Chain A
């Protein structure tokens, strides 16, 4: 199964680039007291919340919904 952080990066990078995708992952990891590589499926709610708050000003809600759905699909 792919790492959660890699799935998130893979979904976000085509839209916001590698650096910003990595920022989203790291910001979430820090908020739950982990490193990016330590994120697990259990951290998905925190990831989703963080991604929604970071991307809401720059992407429409339907796009973010699809990103989140793709991330969930990718880690399951």
Chain B
């Protein structure tokens, strides 16, 4: 995909060396294929697990396999960051995205140790500290990324529109989830810490993931087909998948309609998209 140039610029483009025919590297395609291939395998067996078709041992293997996937994405993301020369300002943005994936991975590992290794209820627990930290890392990455375009495009309107979307989504979360289920929950159902964490998740999804993702999309949308926007589109999709998955999990859990294997795939897939974006970010900036 190349940018359609104005007539004068099209003529001037002849003889310039920027026209790389293959932008996305083999490393990116290979890494993404392995990650999403493993996710497909996990999703198949996780579906069988949800349907009760696996024995206890296989269930545990599938569980551990699923837990291992986000740390794998985190490692991939950090490897992707090392492809940027040290000291680059743009490296910070992708380091923060990698941080978001890494903290989610740490949350998963802590969750597994508590649930599988120690046999205790992991909610609420130290795992939630890591999971909540994902919002901080993602928000910081989005703010830095959006700010980096402030001298090139208008960022005020995107931020205003995104704030409106985020607050509208917050109203939906309040009406559908907080008011009927979480806030009225008694101490017999949920501890004070548990209630606080249960409130933070859906609010974090809309205020710190969905909102910044909308602002980011509106900002990078001004780049048209410019290839520096590509990795941020992947981040936007990853953030939306994450926010929708996480919010839907809260609703499914509290309303009693039950969770599904799709939700597990949503969290893992969202993190893999973020890791893929880090790789794509370096590819698109290569001359």
Interchain nearest-CB distance for A19 vs B (Å): 6
Flag if A58 contacts B228 (CB, 8 Å). Answer: yes
Q: Which of A29-73 contact B (CB under 8 A)?
A: 53-54, 56-63, 66-67, 70, 73
Binding site for B on A (CB under 8 A): 2-3, 5-7, 9-11, 13-21, 23-24, 27, 53-54, 56-63, 66-67, 70, 73-74
**Known contacts A14-B18, A18-B5, A23-B153; is-contact A6 B11 (Cβ 8 Å):** yes
Do A20 and B153 have beta carbons less than 8 Å apart? Answer: yes
B17 (CB) vs chain A CBs: closest residue: A70
Interface SS majority for chain B = loop
Q: Within the complex, what minimum Cβ distance (angstroms) separates B138 from chain A?
A: 18
With a cutoff of 8 Å between Cβ atoms, the chain B residues found around residue A21 in the complex are: 9, 226
Distance (whole angstroms) from the CB of B215 to the closest CB of chain A: 16
Given A23-B152, A58-B90, A60-B285, are A15 and B226 neighbors across the interface (CB < 8 Å)?
Answer: yes
B18 — which chain A residues lie within 8 A by C-beta? 10-11, 14-15, 66-67, 70
Contacts A57-B148, A59-B90 known; 4 new A-B pairs at CB < 8 A: A11-B18, A17-B3, A59-B285, A74-B16
- 9 A-B pairs with CB atoms under 8 Å apart are A2-B12, A10-B16, A13-B3, A15-B227, A17-B225, A18-B4, A18-B224, A57-B149, A66-B18
